[in-house]
Each structure stands twice: as structure tokens, then as C-alpha cells.
Amino acid sequence: MGKTATGRAEEDVEAAWAAAPQQEAWVAWLVPAFALANTIAFAYTMYVNDCPSSHRLLLGPPYSYYYSSPSSSSSSSTCVFPSLLGRFAFEPFSVNPLLGPSLRTLDKLGALNYAEVVEGGQGWRLIACIWLHAGVVHLLANMLSLLFIGVRLEQEFGFVKIGMLYLLSGFGGSLMSCLSIRTKISVGASGALFGLLGAMLSELIMNWTIYANKFAALLTLIVVIAINLAVGIVPHVDSSAHIGGFISGFLLGFVLLIRPQFGWINRKHIPPGYNIELVKPKHKTYQHILWLVAIILLITGFLIGLIKLFRGVSKQH
């Protein structure tokens, strides 16, 4: 028996889908630029810190956040590599074991500090803090993770989506950190990095039907996320920023990283004269539902967090 018109139309549409040009990988430039910006920011932080000429110990809150308060005998400690690095020399290990500046310098340049954000009206710290790092060890750990995770995501989804994902996740991590920690300061891009991990998980869920080895990919991703979240248990690590960034990125992944379902083709590649109803819709119903729920939860969460954070100002005056 010969094929029906519908059968021939379906075959033609499938042939058109196969012949349609596939999207080329984006050139990743924004994520490396972010890594470079963080590195430059750290170099500037060390320049401002100028350990050899302004070395002093900082005691008491909020400067006891990252490191145990040093004993009075530590006041005789010297900067690390002063002859080699000059004014870029690191603070003594008793002050900063991560090879970096003093906490006072970090606070001066925009570290997340509840008192300054809420009482001082310096909301810009919610974003500024994600560009600062406590030391070389801190910087290297975060930037290597950023390049490892972020470059692949930018190649797949482009610089606009990944840039928004990085910044909004960092903001979400800062917001939760500021709500949770009120007597200590915090710096680092960890919230933004955990946002990228959260987005990878939601992207897998959102685009479930197009993946081949679904459960293997899901299991691998869950293990990676669990290991990274476990780092939050270590003392002096801001786990609230990790959690806030992860949740923000998880919701943003549903909003920004949605893909067309398998077999969908753009209408301009459909052969003329065939029934348009035979073409698959761009997205499945469950993708639309997840997108809507995620954007509602994201906006609501940010609004509630900001209201809760700055509502305390009126109560205090």
C-alpha cells in the first residue's frame, strides 16, 4: 500500500528538521572575563591593603568572621613576601591564613556587612561582595570552578543568559547571607557559582526529554552538588550564601535555560504546502508550567527577602 498524504507530510517535516541548521556553540568570553575581573579586583584589594605600611590587627566583630581572633603576641608578625610583592604583600598568617588582605580592607571595599547594608543604606554591597575574595586560596578555588562550570554553560546558552544567571544568583546568595548573618562580614563568588550548579540541575529537569542518559547525568550532577554543599559545613564558610545562590540559580535555570523539545523546527524550515499542525510545538506543556512556577517563586522570594531585610530600618529608627 502506498503512503497516505499525512504520512508523506510527516516524513517531509522530519526531513526538514534533520536538514535544518543546528545552533552552533557560542564562543565563551563572558565567563573568562568574569574570572579576569575577579582577579583584577583581588589585585586592587591587595594594593589598597598595603600590608607593609599599614599592618595592624583587627579584633572583635565583625572582623572575627573568617579567622579566629589572634593573640596579642601576633602583633609582632610580619607580612608574607614583603620584599617580593611590596605593597601587594599578604597579611600575616595569624591574620589571614588564605594569603590575602585584612578584613578591614575587605569591609572598606564592599564586603557584605549587615550593619552597612541595612543601617548604612549601602545596598550596593549585595553585588560588590561577589567580586571580592579573602585570599589567593579563596580566589583560585572559585575561579577554577567558575571556568570549569561556566564556560560550558556559556557555550551552550550564550553570554546573556549565563551573565544574568551568574549575577542574579550572586545577588540571591548575598541576600540570604545578609538575612542570616548580622554580626560578621562575607565575600566571594560562591553564591554565584552555586547558582550555576543549581541551574545545571534545573536545566536537566526542564529539558528531560532531550537527554539520552538521563539518570546517569542526574546522579552525577547530584553527587557534585552534594559535595559542594558539604563544603558549607566547614568552619568560616558562609553556607547561607551557598544555599541562597543555589536556590536562585535553580529557579533561574527553569526560566533562562529552557530548550525546544526534540523534533521541533522553526517554521521557516518547514516545506511549503504542508499542514502546520503536524509540526511539534516548541515546548512541552510541563516546560511552560515549570517556567511559570519558577519565575513566580523567584520574584516572590527576592521581594520578600528585600522587604524583610530593609524593613528593620524603620523599626530601628
pLDDT in tens, 148-191: 899 999 999 999 999 999 999 999 999 999 998 888 888 989 99
118 belongs to a structural domain = yes
CB 184 within 8 A of CB 62: yes
Residue-range definition of the domain harbouring residue 88? 27-55+76-261+278-311
pLDDT the model gives residue 55 = 62
Among the listed residues 138, 145, 242, 248, the single catalytic one is: 242
Quick check: is 186 catalytic? no
How many angstroms separate the CA atoms of 271 and 266, rounded?
Answer: 11
Q: How many domains does the chain have?
A: 1
Of 160, 250, 240, nearest in space to 205 by CA: 250
pLDDT the model gives residue 267 = 53
Q: Which amino acid, residue 316? A: Q
Query: Residue 95's domain is classified under what CATH number?
Result: 1.20.1540.10
The DSSP element (H or E) to which 186 belongs, if any, is strand 185-186
Q: Could you give the dihedral angle defined by the CA atoms of residues 317, 107, 67 and 198, in that order, rounded to the nearest 10 degrees? A: 90
13 belongs to a structural domain = no
pLDDT the model gives residue 222 = 81
This prediction's pTM? 0.80
How many angstroms separate the CA atoms of 294 and 297, rounded?
Answer: 5
- Mean pLDDT over each residue of the chain, to the nearest integer: 79
| Inter-helix orientation angle 214-230/190-206, to 10° | 160
pLDDT the model gives residue 166 = 97
99 belongs to a structural domain = yes
60 belongs to a structural domain = no
pLDDT the model gives residue 237 = 65
1 belongs to a structural domain = no
Of 183, 41, 29, 201, nearest in space to 116 by CA: 183
- Out of 113-127, 214-228, 244-258, least confident range: 214-228
Among the listed residues 190, 202, 239, 240, the single catalytic one is: 190
| Inter-helix orientation angle 285-316/190-206, to 10° | 150
Check pLDDT > 50 for residue 65.
no
pLDDT the model gives residue 63 = 42
Q: For residue 45, how many other CB atoms are within 10 A of its CB?
A: 25
316 belongs to a structural domain = no
Quick check: is 236 catalytic? no
211 belongs to a structural domain = yes
166 belongs to a structural domain = yes
